[in-house]
Structure 1
Amino acid sequence: MKTSLTIDMEQSLYQYCLEQGGIVVEEVTMPEEQGIVDTLCCLTKADGTREWRCYELKVTKADFRSAAKLSFVGHYNYFVLPQELYEAVEVEIPAEIGVFVYRPYVTMEEMPAPGTFAIAKKATKKELTVPETALTNRFMASLFREVRKAKQMERGVRYFPTEQLYKELKKRSDEHNPFSTERYYERFMEDLNNQAVEELQEEVLALQQDYEYLRQQQQIRRLPTEPLE
C-alpha cells in the first residue's frame, strides 16, 4: 500500500522528468529477474542515443533496508528520499548511486506537482545491466499499460470488469482514513442505495398504475347492460 508521501513523491518525480524532456513511466518490470523499477525515465540525446535513468522511491528505513531487489539497471540510478530519511541512511548509499531529496511545496498556490527535488548526491554513469532492446521493450509495454488504463477511464467504468471494480472499491475502503474528508467509497455506496430506492419507488408506482387500470377495467365490465331500443 502506498502512503500519501510516496504518492506525492511519485507525482513530483513524474513532473520533474517531464520538465527535463524525458519520457517517463512508473513500475517497469525488468527482464532476467532484475526486479521492478519504481520510475524509469528515457531521454533522447542530440546524437540520437538514449540515456536511461532509474529511480527507487523510499520513505522509511524499513523500506530502504528491505530485501526487495533494487532495480538499478540504468545509465544513472537514484534513490528518491525525504530529507529526514536521507540523513539517517546517507552512509549506507553506494558511491555510484545518486540521491534526490524530496522537498514539498508549502505555497498555497496551485502547482503542477506536490513538490520538487534537490540533488543531494550525483550518480555515476555506468553501462546498462540489461540489453537496451529488452529495456526498451519493457518500457514500451509499461507505456502501453498506462495508455490502456487512461483510455478505460476516459470511456467509463463499463470497460472495467465488475470484479476488478469491486476489488478496487474494497481496497479503498480498507485503506480509508477515518479522519479524512474524502468519502468517495461511502458516497458511492450511498449513491447505489439511493438509486436502488428510486428504482423500487418507480416500480411501485408503475404497479399502482397497472392496478388502477385493471380495477377500472373490471368496473367497466361489471356495469349493467343498457336496454335495447
Structure 2
Amino acid sequence: MKTPLTLALEETLYAYCREKGEVVVEEVVMPDDLGIVDTLSLRLLPDDSYEWRCFELKVSKGDFRSPAKLSFVGHYNYFVLPEALYLQVAEEIPEHIGVLVYHGYANPEEHSTPGYLVSGKKARYQELQVNERALLYHLITSQAREVGKAKQTERGLRVFATDQLYKELKRRQPEYDLYGGGVNYYDRFLADTQDQATEALKEELTAYQEAYQDLLLRLEEGE
C-alpha cells in the first residue's frame, strides 16, 4: 500500500511532467524483464525524436536502499525524494542519476498539488537502455490500464462482480483508512446492508399484516 507521502510525491511529479508538455504514466513495466519504473515520461523533441525520463520515488532510507530493481533505462533518470531523505542519502546517488527534491505545502488545500519539486541534482544523458518501440508499447499499455480504471470508476459498481466487491470490502480492516476520517467501509457496508434488510423485512411484515386484516374483514362480511 502506498503511503500518503508517496501519493503526494506521485501526484506532484505527474503535474510537474504534464506542465512540461510530457506524456506521463505511473508504474510502467519495462521491456526485457527490467522491472517496473515508478513513473515514466515521454517528450517529443523538435526533430521528432523521443526523449525518455524514468523516475523512482523514495520516501525513506529503507525504501531507498531496497534491493528492488531500479528501472533507470531512460535518456534521463531521476530519484524523487523528500528533502530530509535527500540530505541523508545524497552521497549514495550515482553521478549520472538526477534528483528532484519534494517540498510539501504548508496548506496543500490552497494549491493544485500537495507540494512542488526543485532540482537537487541534474541527470546526465545516457543512451536508451531498451528497444524504443518496445518501450513505447509498454507506455501505451500502461496508459490503457489507467483509462480502463477511469472508465470503471465512471461506470460505477455495476462493472464489478459481487464476489470482487465483497473481497475488496472485506480486505479493508479497521486500521485501513482509505480516505481519512476513520471510516471503515467494510463495517459501514455491513451496517447499511443490515439496515436495508431490516427495512425490507418491516415492509414485508406490514404487507402481510395488511393482507391478514383484509382477509379478516372479508371473512366478517361473508358471515
Structure 2, unaligned runs of 5 or more: none
SS of residue matched to 2:31: coil
Q: Structure 1: which amino acid aligns with 2:13? A: L
Deviations along 1:150-208, whole A, 9 cap, x unmatched? 0111011110223332333234335425xx52415144443333222222222222222
1:148 to partner: Cα distance: 0.7
Measured in 2, the distance between the counterparts of 1:110 and 1:156 equals 29
Measured in 2, the distance between the counterparts of 1:108 and 1:63 equals 25
Residue 168 of structure 2 is aligned to residue 153 of structure 1:
no
TM-score normalised by length of structure 1:
0.89
Q: Structure 2: which amino acid aligns with 1:152? A: Q
Measured in 2, the distance between the counterparts of 1:98 and 1:52 equals 14
1:119 is aligned to: 119
Q: Structure 1: which amino acid aligns with 2:194? A: N
1:169 is aligned to: 169
SS of residue matched to 2:203: helix
Tell me if structure 1 keeps the 8 A contact 2:108–2:114.
Answer: no
Q: Structure 2: which amino acid aligns with 1:37? A: V
Q: Report the count of equivalent residues.
A: 221
Q: Which moved more, 1:185-194 or 1:128-137?
A: 185-194
Q: Which moved more, 1:72-81 or 1:162-171?
A: 162-171
Q: Residues 71-110 of structure 1 correspond to what in structure 2 (within 5 A)?
A: 71-107=71-107, 110=110
1:212 to partner: Cα distance: 2.3
Identity %: 53
- 4 and 109 in structure 1: CA distance in 2 versus 1, 3 angstrom threshold: closer
SS of residue matched to 2:33: coil
Tell me if structure 1 keeps the 8 A contact 2:59–2:81.
Answer: yes
1:51 is aligned to: 51
1:226 is aligned to: none
- 219 and 159 in structure 1: CA distance in 2 versus 1, 3 angstrom threshold: same
Residue 188 of structure 2 is aligned to residue 197 of structure 1:
no
Measured in 2, the distance between the counterparts of 1:108 and 1:53 equals 27
Q: Structure 1: which amino acid aligns with 2:201? A: L
Residue 24 of structure 2 is aligned to residue 24 of structure 1:
yes
Residue 223 of structure 2 is aligned to residue 218 of structure 1:
no
SS of residue matched to 2:173: helix
Q: Structure 2: which amino acid aligns with 1:160? A: F
2:39 is aligned to: 39
Measured in 2, the distance between the counterparts of 1:175 and 1:24 equals 32
- Cα RMSD for the two superposed structures: 1.9
Measured in 2, the distance between the counterparts of 1:194 and 1:110 equals 39
- 109 and 127 in structure 1: CA distance in 2 versus 1, 3 angstrom threshold: same
TM-score normalised by length of structure 2:
0.91
Deviations along 1:103-147, whole A, 9 cap, x unmatched? 111136532110111110010111111101110111101100110
Measured in 1, the distance between the counterparts of 2:217 and 2:45 equals 83
- 65 and 143 in structure 1: CA distance in 2 versus 1, 3 angstrom threshold: same
Structure 1, unaligned runs of 5 or more: 224-229
Measured in 2, the distance between the counterparts of 1:108 and 1:128 equals 36
Measured in 1, the distance between the counterparts of 2:175 and 2:52 equals 34
Measured in 2, the distance between the counterparts of 1:124 and 1:108 equals 32
1:4 to partner: Cα distance: 0.7
